[in-house]
Structure formats: C-alpha cells, structure tokens
Structure 1
C-alpha cells in the first residue's frame, strides 16, 4: 500500500509556502532564575509556566515567545565559534523604544552598543548569560523603502551604520521634537550630536 506521504499533492499552489511568523526562541542557561527575571524585566513579560528549572514567557498574542531551561555546568557563550549572533525585537515606534531604554536604564540595564543602522535604530543588550538581544525600531515606513536603502550606495559603503547616543534622542523627544524627526531614514551619520548638542 502506498504511503500517503509519497502520493502527489493535488491542486498544489504555485505560490511559496512560508512560515507565518517566528514563534519563539529557547535559551539554555546555567542560571534560570536570573535569566528569567532579566527577560521578564526587559520585555515586561509574564511567565505562563515556571517551575524553577524551565520557564515559558509571553508578552503578546503568542502563547510563549521565550523559553529558558536550566542545564548545569554550561560555559559562557563563545564569540569565536559559529552560531546565532543575536535575536532582535521591533517596537512600534521610536517613542516606545526610547521609553523602554529609559525604563531599563533606571533599573541598571543599559545597552552595550547603540547604533543607527540606517534601516533601523538599534540598542543591543546582553542578558546575564551573555546572550545578545537587539531592541530596534524601523527607520522606514515600508519594507520597499528599507529594501531600497539596502540596495543603495550608502548601505554598500557603510553596511553597519554609526553609533548614536540614546540620551541625546531622549532629550530631543522630551523637548517636544516630532518623533519622526528622530529617525534617520537611511541618512546614516546625520544624527550624531556635536559638542554643543546640535545635529551633525
């Protein structure tokens, strides 16, 4: 008898079949409680399950976005081996990103790398185990605009971007500057402050 898996698919669509979303990621940790508290703090997340050795966290419509499981004796992440470098999370707008930056800074959680990539404004953090997490906001309104920037001479010349000062952006926001003016929209380098605080 022929296996159903070996039978041809009837009326197969000619369009691509792709995942609908990235569902979650899982962290192996030697210190679950500290790592779980860090992610709960950073993302204002809740635990749908946490038995002290394994935790599942959520902060949106997904049943869990992050899971953390304890494995004793693990070594620190090694940047000299191949693997996933970091995981990135997008915020709705620059205001939400900056308000999150301020909230975390007040709790002693600060980014080790702050950069205007051109297509995004990004703050990079490390969790207690050294895993890298990027909090970002898109600098363009549409994917097509971002793709156009990726294909531009400006991106080819500087694909990484330029470092920025989040406190300078917060100061401008608090002073009443329109949030959209805080986004570079691909003009990488235009947002670094001079010594007097003015835009370069």
Structure 2
C-alpha cells in the first residue's frame, strides 16, 4: 500500500510533455481536451481545462527524438469523465475531428477509450464503472479481475446506440467476462 510514514499528496497537479514540434502538439492537446491556452511562446505552452491554473504543459526541445514504443517509461496518462454518456459524447466529438481511438475496453473498474497524440504518447479517457471505491476495490480483488486484469474490448458506437435506446449506464458499464487476458494490444 505504500509507506504510511510518507505524507501523501492530495492530488496530481499536471503533466508535462517534451516535443520537437510544439505547434503540432499544442494544437492536438488543446483540441483533444477542449483546453484553454493559458500561456504559450516559442518553447513552452500551458493548457487548462478545469479550475487548475494548468494541467498540461508542453516544452519544445530540439534534441527530442522520436517515441520508442519499447522504451521504459510512462505508458499513458488518463482523464476521467463523470458519466458513460459524457465519455461517449467526447469520443463522438473527437471522431468528428478525425481523432480516433486505438483501443476501446471495459477494464472492469473503468470503461476506457485510448488514443495517441502526434508524438505517440498514449492517452486514456475513462469513466468509473462503480459508484464507490469499495465496489471498485472488491472487483479488483475478485477472481474475475485476477483472471483478466486487462478487460473486454468494447465498441463505443454500440454502447452509445444502446444508451440512446434507454439501457441504463450501470448495465452498460458492467464488464462482459471473456476469460483470461494477460496483455494489452500492441501499439496501445
């Protein structure tokens, strides 16, 4: 669980990306998040999409190389939505802007849609599938999760169709069990 003698932070404040192409990354992230450009110049930019002064920063460094998919490091960043309807609406809005996901999955604790930014950084958009942390924790210690900690692939368009037909969110967020699964699809 961690060292209880260490004072824990109260939240994650922001993420910072390095890039060789600041304008391209800035346009992508501002569009992807519907974010306000708080500050930008020729080598750094700050974006905000909520009450925080900035949540994403992007630094241009000319010696930045291409993303190496097999390199150790951060796998992805994740952004939460308050409801399945909101997650699917954001997906539809991005799709209209030709921002398409690489993977859509119900992990169990979350329903998630994954994207890549222009530099190849993975981005997860998600909604919590349980109403309480206790329910999520119980699922994450269950035999179903132990057998399949990755999840079951989903189709966002089909989920939206079902949601619009009147099926409740809680039923659509319930993971369909498919048996064992031990790896994330390549390229995610």
Establish whether TM, by shorter chain, passes 0.5. yes
Distance 1:154 1:189 in 2: 7
Flag structure 1 segments of 5+ consecutive residues without an equivalent: 1-13, 191-200
Q: Are the aligned partners of 1:117 and 1:188 in contact in 2 as well (CA < 8 Å)?
A: no
| Counterpart check, 1:115 vs 2:105 | yes
Q: Are the aligned partners of 2:144 and 2:177 in contact in 1 as well (CA < 8 Å)?
A: no
Cα RMSD over matched residues?
A: 1.6
1:15 CA displacement = 7.7
| Counterpart check, 1:19 vs 2:9 | yes
**3-state DSSP of counterpart to 2:67:** coil
| Counterpart check, 1:131 vs 2:126 | no
1:32 CA displacement = 0.8
Q: Are the aligned partners of 2:116 and 2:122 in contact in 1 as well (CA < 8 Å)?
A: yes
Match of 1:189 among 150, 161, 177: 177
Match of 1:63 among 48, 53, 58: 53
Return the TM-score normalized by structure 1: 0.83
Match of 2:96 among 106, 122, 128: 106
Which residue in 2 is equivalent to 1:7?
none
1:75 CA displacement = 1.8
**3-state DSSP of counterpart to 1:108:** coil
Paired residues in the alignment total 175
Which residue in 2 is equivalent to 1:81?
71
1:181 CA displacement = 2.3
Q: Deviations over 1:165-197 (max 9, x none)?
A: 11101111222322222211xx3338xxxxxxx
1:16 CA displacement = 5.9
Flag structure 2 segments of 5+ consecutive residues without an equivalent: 179-188
Return the TM-score normalized by structure 2: 0.88
Larger radius of gyration: 1
Distance 2:56 2:126 in 1: 18
